[in-house]
Amino acid sequence: MTALGRWSSQYLNYSFGNPSLLEQALSHRSVGDANNERLEFLGDGFLNLAIAQRLYELCPQYSEGELSRLRASLVNGASLKAIAVSIQLDQHIIISKAERSSGGARRASIIANAVEAIIGAVLLDGGYEAARQVVNHLYLDRLNNLPSPDDLKDAKTRLQEWLQARGVDLPEYTVEHVAGADHAQTFTVSCSAEGQATRAEGRSRRTAEQRAARLLLDILRHDE
């Protein structure tokens, strides 16, 4: 068995009937036309379906919105990167020398995309059930330790819901200052409600608003 075959058996719990599919799934576009971009497209679609199905089975008490937040937290780039690191995927990325010298084999987007491409490759190699089992294997710990959907709400949503539950006015957000060149602006935003106000900065207005909302919610909860 090849080194890639041993890696697949150990970390994916799957052996490829067609090893060339695994090699293609690990091939970055910098190496030529036989790269993993189309497999990534296929794997991305299947991953969303497989995780949605598993969450539907595991969480009968959750609404559509709660299930959607959970799925988003599982299939985003950060989660895929963490999975890639846990299975030592960066050691097997097939990438050009130039891209590797610039750190491409460890770049979050590249290794996250490769995880999706591998799932697509398994789907083609072994079919739906084989791909579903690989997804469940890769996500086993995360599916067994799901966060509360409420913990996944952004700070502005949580602040709004906290205020609405108490029948008080919704928060007001004010952009107080914008600094820097157009391509590197810093926004200063204030958030006020219930006689309290906070101020935060961010590289976008949305980021600053979220930070200010989080600070205000912490204050209001502390004072409750």
SS3 60: coil
Q: Round to whole Å and give the CA distance between 26 and 36.
A: 6
Write out the two tokens for 14: 């799957």
Dihedral sign of CA atoms 78, 83, 87, 89 in order: negative
Catalytic residue list: 44, 116
CB 152 within 8 A of CB 208: no
Edge-to-edge order in the sheet of strand 186-193: 172-179, 186-193, 196-202
User: Scanning the structure block, which residue is given the tokens 């966060």?
Assistant: 147
Strand residues in the chain grouped as ranges (E) = 172-179, 186-193, 196-202
